[in-house]
Amino acid sequence: MKLSNSLRILIGLALGLLFGIIFSLLEKDSISYFPDFVAPIGTLWVNAIRMVVIPLLMALLVTSIAGQTSGTKVAQLGGKTIGLFMLTIFFSSFFAFVTVPPLLALLTIDPQSSASLLESTGYDANAANELPPFSEWFVSLIPDNPFAAAADSAVLPLLIFTGLFAVALLRIEEKQRNVIVEVFNAIKSAMFVIITWIMLLAPIGIFALVFSLTASLGVSAITVLGSFIIMVCGLLATMTLILYPLVASVAGIPMAEFARTIAPVQVIGFSTRSSLASMPATYAAAAALEIPERVTGMVLPIAATLFKYASPFARTAGTYFVATLFGIDLSVFELLVIALSIGLLSFYSPGIPSGGLLIMAPVYLSLGLPVEGIGILIAIDLVVDMFITTANVTANIACSALIAKFQQ
């Protein structure tokens, strides 16, 4: 019996976890090199995915926008997309505001234990100063050289240029426009062929990624952070599951079909912790759900670069946890300000390690919270970010399905 790709991917994930835990329990003086030998295999697979992301996103955006009959439809679709993203970001922040403080109140946390945690993270309190200022980020949205932006993987500036280029195509002669659209259609088709080859190797790539991670972490107990990780990951899973009945009731896609189709995307997102790396599988899942290409071609590129459904929740929950850890009582107003501020800041996430965490420094400073607490969140970001990305890629497909319904 031929196994489906979804099942093969899940088997790769399960075997990576199993053998990684077994390895962590062995006497490994003679085989300590093995995770270092396996890890590059996973890296190669992720690099293969990233290799097709830039040309695929550009081709999707150009064909979806320039393929429209008028700029009015493009503006309507873009407006609905941004509006839905804003609504879901508000929900994410409000969900943290409502659920996390009561649960944190149930935890018994010794503030003195934070000293050892900070020491283990190696966090530099001055690291937040390395974050590019908002004005610099804002100016960089219009690339002075789109080819350099592509080479540097500056995805959001590149997509802004691509979007403007695609809209400009609507203003030239139809014969000329069709030639360019056909070229990008050919590029898109070629990328899908490469993606098919890459996905055949997905079980091996995911096994290598998960094995290397599990072999390093093992089953070591997490003391102070354990309860927080379980709480946040459980609530992130809840946020993900909320999308299933929403898609079923509004978009008319049965929950079983939705769950089965997006499972490979979730596994890739969980393993790679990257919405961009999950992009090829995300687009394939949307096509399998019969979401029109004119919708996914615009919605998914914007979602992968700008929309972060679960990040506001996780970062808000982390800020509440830091305050609790250091024994700082926050008023209801301060809790609300934190949720709203981080929700707005979630649209600004620079391409540096833990950038989504470092952008919270201004919020911490304005409310008198210890910026050093961000180091504690960095220490557990590896685990939490897996659940964040899983929720994000699920939301990307869910939003595409909802917008497709609204466009009918």
Pull the structure tokens for residue 193. 């062929």
Threshold 0.85, pTM exceeds: no
Identity at 172, one-letter amino acid code: I
Nearest by Cα to 81 from 311, 335, 296, 334: 296
What pLDDT was estimated at residue 199? 79
Amino acid 261: pLDDT: 92
In angstroms, rounded to a whole number, what is the distance separating the alpha carbons of residues 338 and 332?
Answer: 10
| Domains, the chain, ordered by start | 5-407 (1.10.3860.10)
Cβ–Cβ < 8 Å for 326, 373 = yes
The two structure tokens encoding residue 289: 């759900």
DSSP string, 160-217: HHHHHHHHHHTTS-HHHHHHHHHHHHHHHHHHHHHHHHHHHTHHHHHHHHHHHHHHHH
* Predicted local distance difference test score (pLDDT) of residue 272: 79
pLDDT given for residue 220 in this prediction: 45
Give CB contacts under 8 A, 24+ apart, made by 347-353: 347/89, 347/306, 347/308, 348/134, 348/137, 349/308, 349/311, 350/131, 350/132, 350/137, 351/153, 351/154, 352/130, 352/131
pLDDT in tens, the chain (408 residues): 566 666 787 788 788 888 887 887 776 666 667 777 888 888 888 788 778 878 887 887 888 777 665 555 566 666 677 777 788 888 888 999 999 999 888 876 655 555 544 454 444 444 444 445 667 767 878 888 988 888 877 777 888 898 889 889 888 888 898 899 899 989 988 988 888 888 788 888 888 877 876 776 565 434 556 788 889 999 999 999 999 999 999 989 999 999 999 998 998 888 877 777 788 888 889 889 988 887 887 788 777 766 788 888 988 998 998 888 777 778 888 888 888 888 877 765 544 445 566 567 667 766 777 766 776 676 677 778 889 889 999 999 998 898 888 766
Q: Which amino acid is it at 206? A: I
What's the CA gap between 210 and 230, in Å, rounded?
Answer: 19
- Indicate the DSSP class of residue 107: -
CB contact at 8 A, 335 and 101? yes
* pLDDT given at position 26: 77
Coil, helix or strand for 154? coil
pLDDT of 75 reads 63
Q: Encoding tokens for residue 279?
A: 């992009």
What is the DSSP-derived secondary structure letter of residue 277?
Answer: T
pLDDT computed for residue 349 by the predictor: 57
Q: What is the pLDDT of residue 398?
A: 92
Measured between alpha carbons, how far is 395 from 243 in angstroms, rounded to an integer? 7
Cα separation of 396 and 60, whole Å? 15
- For tokens 């926008």, the residue is 65
Q: Contact at 8 Å (CB) between 280 and 196?
A: no
Helical spans, DSSP H, in 105-153: 114-121, 134-139, 146-151
